[in-house]
Chains A and B, each alone.
Chain A
Amino acid sequence: MKPGLELPPLERLIALPDMIAYAGATWDWHRLHYDPSYLAPRGLDRPVVDGQVFGALLAEQVQDWIGTSGVLRSLTFRFKSLVHAGETVRCLGVVQAVDGRLVTVEHRVEAEGRIAVAPASSTVELR
């Protein structure tokens, strides 16, 4: 475990049915995520992905990487640009620091070449 180590990227297509499933699973029925009659007057031509799903994807990326060797302790992320239904996102991560049993990972999420989420970071406590 050394700074500079890259985590396997996590890539996922977020289609409208995925967004509907996420809205149901999180009890968040905001019309921004599926309703054309809400989107059109606001100048949006496609449903907007709920930003919190990127938290879930970054957690998945970290846990798939660390497995049973560590526990995810924190996750911080800021939104840079909207992601729309039908776009593919790519979660990236690089180990930034190792301090005893605490590993800090710097992340970003890209969507079709744009930065969707950054800065972002996670910390993992090694077992």
Chain B
Amino acid sequence: MMTDELRALIGREATYTAPEPLGRAAIRYFALAVGDDNPVYTDDAAARAAGHDGVVAPPTLICETNQYAGLPRDADGYAGHTWGIDLPGTRQVRGGNAYEFHRAVRPDDVVTAVWRLVDIAERATGAGQPMLVFTSRATYTNQDGDLLATNEESIIYLAVTP
């Protein structure tokens, strides 16, 4: 499955900067959608009592949102970062994520995400089905260059037998 063309993609980077601060409404919407009623997301007094300067975002929000990407929707309706790779004869599945949280994200943070394609590895499933595992890493910073979080993500392309 691995080709020189794919190997040449390793190390590629893409940078997305949000056109506006994250905002309190985006934080409240995410917490509401998940069902997380922790008051540190919506109540400044509760957030201050927890040691913050005011409301903060749920830790995984900036790793999960496409708010900053500004990309058009693709045919599947998806408007987030991809490497634009089309591998005929494969099915794409999510492998997993690894997040590191460096500091709580505030409504006035303007997020920049830098994605890097770290590795493409050829492997096989337990049943011997070939697959390619794409590992990408996003680094999220704010307008002052503060490191907010990182997100390592694996996407698996499974060979589909016709």
Contacts and interface: CB of A to CB of B under 8 A. Distances in A.
Contacts of B61: 56
Contacts of B78: 28-30
A60 B40 CA distance: 12
A92 to B, nearest CB: 17
B83 interface: no
Contacts of B76: 30-32, 38
Determine the interface band of chain A, counting residues with CB < 8 A from chain B.
35 or more
Contacts, number: 110
Interface stretch (A1-9, A73-81, A100-108): A73-81
A76 B96 contact: yes
Q: Which of B36, B69, B79, B96 has the most CB of A within 10 A?
A: B96
Nearest to B150: A74
A56 B65 contact: no
Nearest to B51: A68
Contacts of B58: 56, 59-60
A68 B50 contact: yes
Contacts of B9: none
Interface of B: 26, 29-30, 32-36, 38, 49-51, 58-61, 63-67, 69, 73, 76-80, 93-101
Interface of A: 12, 18, 21-22, 24-32, 35, 38, 51-53, 55-57, 59-60, 63-64, 68, 71-79
